[in-house]
Structure 1
Amino acid sequence: MTERTDRAANQALRNDLEDVYGRYEELRSGVDELQRSLATMQVSAESEDGVVRATVDADGKLVDLSLNQQACREWNVETLARTIVETIQQASAGTTRHIEQLVTNHRPSDDGA
């Protein structure tokens, strides 16, 4: 009888281990996908009037900036500079929201944990 009980206990432990390993593999795969998404992420924002468009990476670093040439000729330097800074800040804020969404989407479910 003890041998049968030991076998059943061992099988239960094996099943638990397989389940834990399966959840680990799922989590590891999600982390890999999250890292790839972050490595290639770019978020853009445009000023309300469409004069400035800024694109930043996952770190919030500026990777592209587009300016409307007509506005560059007509606007004073202070207004243009302020609009550029505000647009970059909007893009960086968008990056933060996008990262939060990615992390939420890659968070493992709590069932069985």
Structure 2
Amino acid sequence: MTETADRTATQDLRNDLEDVYGRYEEMRSGVDELQRSLATMQVSAQSPDGAVQATVNADGDLVALRLDQQACREWNVETLARVIVETVQSASAGKHRQVENLVTAHRQSDETA
């Protein structure tokens, strides 16, 4: 009888270990997916009139900037500089929201696992 109980306990421990390892693998996969999403993230924003478009990456670095030719001809340097800065700030704020959403989704999936 003791031998049967030992086998059952050993099998239960193996099952528990397999469950824990499975949850770990799911969490690890989620972390890898989160890292890939952050590594490839780019967020763009446009000025209200569409004359300026800025794109930032997950680090907040400006990776692309598009300026409308008409705006470059009509605006003075100060106005163009201000609109560029505001558009980059808008893209950066969007990036913060997107990172927050990704992390929140990742945490929720971890909690359900």
Calculate the TM-score normalised by the size of structure 2: 0.91
SS of the residue aligned with 1:60?
Answer: coil
- Structural RMSD (CA): 1.4
Distance 2:8 2:98 in 1: 47
Q: How many equivalent residue pairs?
A: 112
Tell me if the contact between 2:42 and 2:57 (Cα under 8 Å) persists in the aligned partners. Answer: yes
Kindly provide the amino acid, as one letter, of the partner of residue 54 in structure 2.
A
Q: How does 1:60-75 map to 2 (within 5 A)?
A: 60-75=60-75
Identity of aligned pairs, percent? 74
Tell me if the contact between 2:52 and 2:68 (Cα under 8 Å) persists in the aligned partners. Answer: yes
Which segment is superposed worse, 57-66 or 32-41?
32-41
Aligned to 1:106: 106
Distance 2:71 2:111 in 1: 52
Q: Deviations over 1:35-85 (max 9, x none)?
A: 111111110000111111000001010000011111111111111111100
In structure 1, stretches of 5+ residues that fail to align are: none
Cα separation, partners in 2 of 1:64 and 1:20, compared to 1, 3 Å: same
Distance 1:27 1:67 in 2: 42
In structure 2, stretches of 5+ residues that fail to align are: none
Aligned to 1:34: 34
- How far 1:111 moved relative to its partner? 4.2
- How far 1:110 moved relative to its partner? 2.6
2:62 paired with 1:51: no
Aligned to 2:76: 76
Distance 1:62 1:110 in 2: 34
2:89 paired with 1:89: yes
